[in-house]
C-alpha cells in the first residue's frame, strides 16, 4: 500500500472539513451529504430523489464550490434533445472561405454535472447520459471525446408518481452508484432554513479541496483493504436480494429481480469511501451495513404483489440486514 495510516488520518481530517463547510450552507440532510461525498470519492454517480424544494440542487452546487470543481447544470425537460447534452458539430467557414466541421461541447463536459429533474426528459434524452456515465466518453458523429477528470453526474429526480415524469430505464438506474432519498426537514431544520435564506447574512463558502487532491483521495479509496470475511458478507447480502431457492420468504414473495454484480461493486466502493472518511484503511462490517440500502435500493425490482402490499426495497433490505449474519450464508 503506497499510503500510510497517517495519510488516511490527514485525508479524513480534510474530508471532514469539506463536510463542515457544506454544513455551513446546507441545513440537516446529513445522510444526503455523506452519500453524495462517498459517491464522489468512489468515482461514481449519485441519484438524489425527493420532493421539489428540498434543496437537492443547492446541495450539489455547494459540493462543487467546496471541492472547486468545474460545474454545469442541465435542466431536463420533455423537449430536451440529446445534442443539448453532449454538444454537436457545426460547419464553420474560415477566412479563406473553406468550410470545416467544428465540435461545440455541451454541458456534459464539466467535472461535476448536475442533471436536474432527470426523469422529466424523455427516455431517448436520458439515454444520452449512458455513455458518459459508463465509459466517461462521448461519441458524436463517430468521433469519441474524453470527459473531464474527475467526472461525476449527480442527478436529481422527483418521485415517479408525480405528474409529468418518465421512469428511468433499468440500464441507467444501474449506472448510479447509489440512490439517495431526501427526507422532508424537521420543524427545527425548517426554522434554520428560513433564518439562513431570508436573513441579511451572506454565507461565503470556502474552497477546501481541489480536483487534484480529490483524485488522490479517490486513489486512497481504491487502496482501502477489505478482508475476505467482509467481502463474503457483502456477497451474501447482494445475493440475498434475488428470489431464488435460498432467499428469505419476503424476497421470494415480493421481489421480481435483485441486484446484479454492479450492485456488489457499488457496495464495496461506498464502504471503502466511508472507511476513508472515518480515517481507516480497512472496511468494517459497519461500513457495509451503513451503505447497503443506498447502494442496492434502486437495483431491486418488486413484483406486482410487492407493490400492491405496499412493500419497498428499503424495508426488504432492512430485514435482510437483520437476517444475514457475518460469516453465515442464508
CATH of the domain at 191: 3.40.50.300
Q: Which of 219, 241, 273 is the last residue of a domain?
A: 219
* Per-residue cell: 297: 435500493
CB distance 86 to 229 below 8 Å? no
Tens-digit pLDDT string for the chain (330 aa): 577 888 888 899 999 898 888 877 777 778 888 898 999 999 889 988 877 766 777 788 888 888 888 888 888 888 888 888 887 777 777 777 777 767 778 888 888 888 888 888 887 777 777 778 878 888 776 777 788 888 888 888 877 655 566 777 777 788 889 998 887 777 877 777 777 767 666 667 788 888 899 999 999 999 999 999 999 999 999 998 988 877 788 888 888 888 888 899 999 999 999 999 998 889 999 999 999 999 999 888 888 888 888 888 889 999 998 888 765 544
Tell whether 214 and 232 lie within a shared domain: no
Tell whether 61 and 193 lie within a shared domain: yes
**What CA–CA distance (Å, rounded) separates 174 from 96?**
50
Tell whether 232 and 191 lie within a shared domain: no
Tell whether 238 and 177 lie within a shared domain: no
Tell whether 147 and 273 lie within a shared domain: no
Beta bridge partners of 146: 137
Nearest Cα residue to 192 out of 5, 25, 16? 25
pLDDT at 226: 92
Taking the CA atoms of 289, 293, 299 and 301 in sequence, report the sign of the dihedral they define: positive
Tell whether 192 and 255 lie within a shared domain: no
Looking at the 3D structure of the chain, how many domains does it have?
2
For residue 229, the enclosing domain spans: 224-330
Tell whether 298 and 284 lie within a shared domain: yes
CB distance 68 to 207 below 8 Å? yes
Tell whether 305 and 242 lie within a shared domain: yes
Q: What is the pTM of this model?
A: 0.86
Tell whether 31 and 10 lie within a shared domain: yes
Q: Which of 195, 219, 243 is the last residue of a domain?
A: 219
Tell whether 238 and 172 lie within a shared domain: no
Q: Which of 153, 185, 219 is the last residue of a domain?
A: 219
Tell whether 69 and 138 lie within a shared domain: yes
pLDDT at 21: 86
CATH of the domain at 235: 1.10.8.80
Residue 128 CB coordination number (10 Å): 20
Tell whether 207 and 283 lie within a shared domain: no
Amino acid at each position: 500500500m503506497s499510503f500510510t495510516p497517517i495519510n488516511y488520518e490527514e485525508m479524513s481530517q480534510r474530508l471532514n472539513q469539506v463536510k463542515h463547510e457544506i454544513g455551513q450552507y446546507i441545513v440537516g440532510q446529513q445522510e444526503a451529504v455523506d452519500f453524495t461525498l462517498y459517491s464522489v470519492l468512489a468515482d461514481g454517480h449519485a441519484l438524489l430523489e425527493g420532493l421539489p424544494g428540498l434543496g437537492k440542487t443547492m446541495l450539489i452546487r455547494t459540493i462543487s464550490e467546496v471541492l472547486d470543481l468545474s460545474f454545469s447544470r442541465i435542466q431536463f425537460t420533455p423537449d430536451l434533445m440529446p445534442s443539448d447534452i453532449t454538444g454537436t458539430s457545426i460547419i464553420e467557414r474560415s477566412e479563406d472561405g473553406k468550410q470545416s466541421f467544428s465540435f461545440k461541447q455541451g454541458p456534459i463536459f464539466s467535472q461535476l454535472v448536475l442533471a436536474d429533474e432527470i426523469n422529466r426528459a424523455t427516455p431517448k434524452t436520458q439515454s444520452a447520459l449512458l455513455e458518459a456515465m459508463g465509459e466517461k466518453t462521448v461519441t458524436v458523429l463517430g468521433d469519441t471525446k474524453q470527459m473531464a477528470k474527475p467526472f461525476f453526474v449527480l442527478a436529481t429526480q422527483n418521485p415517479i408518481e408525480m405528474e409529468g415524469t418518465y421512469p428511468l430505464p433499468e440500464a441507467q438506474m444501474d449506472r448510479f452508484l447509489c440512490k439517495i432519498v431526501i427526507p422532508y426537514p424537521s420543524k427545527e431544520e425548517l426554522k434554520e432554513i428560513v433564518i439562513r435564506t431570508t436573513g441579511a447574512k451572506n454565507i461565503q463558502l470556502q474552497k477546501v479541496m481541489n480536483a487534484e487532491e480529490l483524485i488522490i483521495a479517490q486513489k486512497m479509496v481504491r487502496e482501502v483493504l477489505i478482508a475476505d470475511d467482509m467481502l463474503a458478507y457483502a456477497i451474501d447480502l447482494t445475493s440475498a436480494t434475488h428470489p431464488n431457492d435460498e432467499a428469505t420468504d419476503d424476497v421470494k414473495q415480493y421481489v421480481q429481480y435483485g441486484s446484479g454484480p454492479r450492485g456488489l461493486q457499488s457496495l464495496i466502493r461506498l464502504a471503502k469511501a466511508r472507511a476513508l472518511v472515518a480515517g481507516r484503511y480497512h472496511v468494517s462490517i459497519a461500513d457495509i451495513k451503513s451503505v447497503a440500502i443506498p447502494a442496492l435500493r434502486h437495483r431491486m425490482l418488486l413484483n406486482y404483489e410487492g407493490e400492491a402490499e405496499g412493500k419497498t426495497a428499503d424495508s426488504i433490505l432492512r430485514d435482510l440486514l437483520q437476517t444475514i449474519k457475518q460469516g453465515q450464508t442464508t
